[in-house]
Amino acid sequence: MSTTAVPATQGRLAFPSNFWWGAATAAYQIEGAVDTDGRTPSIWDTFAAQPGRIDGGDTGATSTGHYRRYREDVRLMAELGLSAYRFSVAWPRIRPAGGAGVNAAGLDFYDRLVDELLAGGVRPVATLYHWDLPQELEDAGGWTNRDTALRFADYAAAVAGRLGDRVAMWNTLNEPWCSAFLGYGTGGHAPGRRGHVGALTATHHLLLAHGLGVAALRAANVAGQVSVALNAGAVRPLTSSAEDADAARRIDGLLNRIFFDPILRGVYPADTIEDTRDLTDWHFVHPGDLPVIAAPLDAICVNYYQPDLVSAAPAGRLDHGTPYPTAQAVQFHPTPGPVTHMGWSVDPTGLRDLLLRIRTDYGDRPIYVTENGAAYDDHVEPDGAVDDPERIGYLRGHLAAVHEAITAGVDLRGYFVWSLLDNFEWAFGFSRRFGLIHVDYATLARTVKASGRWYARAIADNAIDEPRTGDQRAESA
């Protein structure tokens, strides 16, 4: 199937007829019920309990209460008209304590969720690993231990055996860059370990887990597409100098190509291996790993938030806190223009460029944008409304960028807003709201925001209004 034929009407951008309009969440960010039905702690329970790790001392212990309220949430999805919902499965619900036993009660929850989604006309898209590693596996070395990749394959097989007949698309991993470079590099994410060698080791074991996970899904004969969600971005040099071009090349290697190349070409980027030579000889890559990692996929999924603007740092101004190994001499710059409540720049051209680049460098293949969205400081007004025009501007601008890529021939089949609901935003706790639906954390009441209604309209029309020049800035300022 090709998605390239997009009818154009004046002022309107129409999407291909079978385009997936989705929204995404992740288990630890929404479920709560951390001790329920046999679940054991993950690295995020442990990390969030440590003082100073999470803004406001927040944890995911209750969060949005989705574990108990999933029926209400699916009803809201159906009201919005979503054609797909991307959720993640919590590993410690399925294989408590990371052990060999399968917890039927954990599988039952996702089984009910999937059936509820299908009954509501919403395609289930399941991510197997959205960062909640069973704590016992971390105690044995976590992602720096090769054995964790093998455990992941066992866990994937258990989930596939139960849900494989009904899930429309699988993501083995969500954003392995964050797991490796924040979890084991800077320590800003769970498990909070610091060290660039650990980050590179974890990267390889995550990639191996992906490959073994693909094999487990194929062995289970799953009906849906098999894929992986990478946080990718356009990396731009600040000036046309050779030094800035080299800074951009180095970061592009450590953000994008270190994942895309092994998965889609079966090799690590030679320049990245060379860049990191002083840190490691990459002995953790065993003969035979790369063909496993490069197992054919049905689609590639990308999560996009903002582009990166980089330069060579002025002499003596090294960034010792960088998550990027051997990139202390690279400086990151704010992109001119509006930013979200995360401080992330609003630049839809970065999404368009990323999509075009994947096609140019990795060939014509089905692509989904499995996360895109923005945090703003939303409030429920006295009349009960949540007005979030900036988020509408953000979504419209980025959907227009998606449309541009489709028109240019990219086989882009779907788009998922991050997020369905306001939720636990990792180290930021509940202080950042990304949802199409507002959550009152005191009462757990849900309120569809204006952006949620706007998105529902877009889904119903299978089209959006073309952004006017300056819209993005006006709506996001």
Known catalytic residues are: 175, 371
> Of the candidates 148, 225, 303, 326, which one interacts with ligand FCB according to CB under 6 A?
303
End-to-end distance of the chain based on CA atoms, in angstroms? 40
472 binds ligand FCB (CB under 6 A): no
Q: Scanning residues 344 to 373, which ones bind ligand FCB (CB under 6 A)?
A: 371
In the bound state with ligand FCB, the residue whose beta carbon lies nearer, of 152 and 426, is 426
67 binds ligand FCB (CB under 6 A): no
**What separation in angstroms does the CA of 109 have from each of 35, 66, 432, 440?**
14, 11, 27, 24
- Would you give the binding string for ligand FCB spanning residues 396-435, x where CB under 6 A is met? ----------------------x------xx-------x-
Binding part of the chain for ligand FCB, among 36-44, 173-181, 193-201, 289-297 by CB under 6 A, reads 173-181
Nearest to 412 by CA among 309, 317, 297, 302: 302
83 binds ligand FCB (CB under 6 A): no
Residue 214 near residue 263 (C-beta atoms within 8 A): no
**C-alpha angle with apex 345: 340 to 351, nearest 5 degrees?**
115
- Would you give the binding string for ligand FCB spanning residues 90-129, x where CB under 6 A is met? ----------------------------------------
- Say if residue 159 is exposed, middle or buried (CB neighbours under 10 Å; 0-12, 13-18, 19+): buried
> Which tokens go with 130?
């959205």
308 binds ligand FCB (CB under 6 A): no
Question: In this structure, is the dihedral angle defined by the CA atoms of residues 173, 174, 175 and 179, taken in order, positive or negative?
Answer: negative
Minimum CB separation from ligand FCB for residue 128, in Å?
Answer: 14
State which H helix or E strand residue 104 sits in.
helix 104-119
Contacts of 288 (CB under 8 A, 6+ apart): none
> Which tokens go with 462?
């299978």
- Alpha carbon 341 to its chain's center: 18
Minimum CB separation from ligand FCB for residue 281, in Å?
Answer: 30
In the bound state with ligand FCB, the residue whose beta carbon lies nearer, of 82 and 178, is 178
DSSP string across 442-454: TT--EEE-HHHHH
Binding part of the chain for ligand FCB, among 163-171, 174-182, 315-323, 450-458 by CB under 6 A, reads 174-182
> Of the candidates 103, 231, 345, 476, which one interacts with ligand FCB according to CB under 6 A?
231
> Which tokens go with 386?
């949540």
In the bound state with ligand FCB, the residue whose beta carbon lies nearer, of 411 and 422, is 422
59 binds ligand FCB (CB under 6 A): no
In the bound state with ligand FCB, the residue whose beta carbon lies nearer, of 67 and 426, is 426
Nearest to 65 by CA among 447, 450, 442: 442
In the bound state with ligand FCB, the residue whose beta carbon lies nearer, of 26 and 190, is 26
175 binds ligand FCB (CB under 6 A): yes
Minimum CB separation from ligand FCB for residue 434, in Å?
Answer: 6
Footprint of ligand FCB (CB under 6 A): 26, 29, 174-175, 178, 231, 303, 371, 418, 425-426, 434
